[in-house]
Amino acid sequence: MSEAAQDIPMTARWRPDQIEEATAALRRGALVAFPTETVYGLGGDARSDKAAAAIFAAKGRPSFNPLIVHVADEAMAARCADLPGAARPLIERWWPGPLTLVAPVRPEAGLSRLVGAGLPTVAIRVPAHPLARRLLAAFGGPVAAPSANPSGRISPTTADHVLAGLSGRIAGVLDGGPCPVGLESTIVGFDGDRPVMLREGGVTREEIEDALGRPLGAPEGRDVTAPGQLLSHYAPNARLRLGADAARVGEALLGFGPAPGAALNLSPAGDLTEAAANLFAMLHELDRTAAAIAVSPIPDRGLGRAINDRLRRAAAPRQGAPHAERS
């Protein structure tokens, strides 16, 4: 074995029945990727500065971008955050589920200050995936977990995606197969008692407004209220062209609905739930083979909003990126 290979620790791939290995790694402050219903998370003990710092380092994530804290149940969430009364209908319906709430942090929770990147609030969620639930229950504490991808790259919806991006930088990944939702959680914050949408995601705006019985607000002012919502994100290496009716020469078409000649189709039947579940995996796949990807138009309603949000970010020019010269 070469010296370089010895320096890189092996990243384990754990089966669903190896929760104890993953829990032990979390207990010693190591990093563990695990499936949630949305995307795979890169988890570390949220009370440990060492683990939180290691998450930022493994992802190459800017330290001003705070992490989501994952907990087993509402009781543990309430120990970490002061959840406002307005959150009640959302908690009842989506915890566990693909909804993150941002609320004032409770200092007694002992969360690492790195997790919140200096903010007075914390983003918190109770994931629904059975493996995530078993891991969180066995660990018995809060787990900070951003998506398990190198910062700025496409989010992972399989253990293979995680290993392609982070192998050698984390202790292991719990392999739970593909994530059923396929898009990150929706993030809702509170402006006083008024719920505001901070990030579109796996729960639709329509569903949330239905549960609240009133419209969601937009974030106030010019503050970046979800600091990770930088424009260029979820970026494949391939160039991306959105709203395409057909592929041009040199492009692979990522279809939606009837799309003759499509290399892959998010949902031939035009189903947005199916398209969301396929989005990142198909982007990962086309990114391995095509230099340019054209994407069919996606209706901007329901889950289509979050899909279009991710596609716009994936298509945005990046500084220093191979196709940053695009206007």
Size of the site for Mg ion (CB under 5 A): 1
Rule CB under 6 A: is residue 102 a binding residue for ligand TXA? yes
Position among 84, 104, 178, 227 found at the interface with ligand TXA (CB under 6 A): 227
Only one of the segments 47-55, 135-143, 184-192, 257-265 lies at the binding site for ligand TXA (rule: CB under 6 A); that segment is 184-192
Rule CB under 5 A: is residue 185 a binding residue for Mg ion? no
CA distance 79 to 74: 9
CB of 164 or CB of 226, closer to ligand TXA: 226
* DSSP string of 239-272, one letter each residue: EEE-S-SSPPTTEEEEE-SS-TT-SEES-TT--H
Rule CB under 5 A: is residue 147 a binding residue for Mg ion? yes
Do 156 and 280 touch, CB atoms closer than 8 A? yes
CA distance 218 to 234: 23
Q: Which residue is nearest to Mg ion (CB)?
A: 147
Position among 45, 175, 184, 287 found at the interface with ligand TXA (CB under 6 A): 184
52 by DSSP, 3-state: which? helix
Only one of the segments 25-33, 83-91, 144-152, 298-306 lies at the binding site for Mg ion (rule: CB under 5 A); that segment is 144-152
Quick one: which of 177, 295, 302, 276 has its CA closest to 236?
295
Rule CB under 6 A: is residue 151 a binding residue for ligand TXA? no
Task: Decide which of Mg ion, ligand TXA, none touches 286; Cβ closer than 5 to 8 Å per partner kind.
Answer: none
Position among 226, 242, 316, 321 found at the interface with ligand TXA (CB under 6 A): 226
Position among 112, 157, 225, 296 found at the interface with ligand TXA (CB under 6 A): 225
H and E: helices and strands count for the chain:
10, 14
| Cα-to-chain-centroid distance, residue 31 | 16
Task: Decide which of ligand TXA, Mg ion, none touches 211; Cβ closer than 5 to 8 Å per partner kind.
Answer: none
- The footprint of ligand TXA on residues 112-131 (CB under 6 A) is 116, 119, 121-123
Position among 18, 229, 232, 273 found at the interface with ligand TXA (CB under 6 A): 229
CA distance 313 to 195: 24
Position among 22, 30, 41, 172 found at the interface with ligand TXA (CB under 6 A): 41
Rule CB under 5 A: is residue 265 a binding residue for Mg ion? no
For the chain, what's the residue count? 327
Rule CB under 6 A: is residue 99 a binding residue for ligand TXA? no
Question: Residue for token digits 């909003």?
Answer: 305
Do 263 and 254 touch, CB atoms closer than 8 A? yes
- Minimum Å gap between C-beta 85 and Mg ion is 29
Q: Count of CB atoms within 10 A of residue 140's CB?
A: 11
Size of the site for ligand TXA (CB under 6 A): 28
Rule CB under 6 A: is residue 198 a binding residue for ligand TXA? yes
Which letter, b or e, does each residue of 6-38 get, where b requires 16 or more Cβ atoms within 10 Å of its Cβ? eeeeebbbbeeeebeebbebbeebbbbbbbbbb
Task: Decide which of Mg ion, ligand TXA, none touches 123; Cβ closer than 5 to 8 Å per partner kind.
Answer: ligand TXA
| Residues in contact with 257: Cβ distance below 8 Å, sequence separation at least 6, in sequence order | 267, 268, 269, 270, 296
Positions that interact with Mg ion (CB under 5 A)? 147
Positions that interact with ligand TXA (CB under 6 A)? 36, 38-39, 41, 65-68, 100, 102, 116, 119, 121-123, 145-147, 184-185, 187, 198-199, 225-229
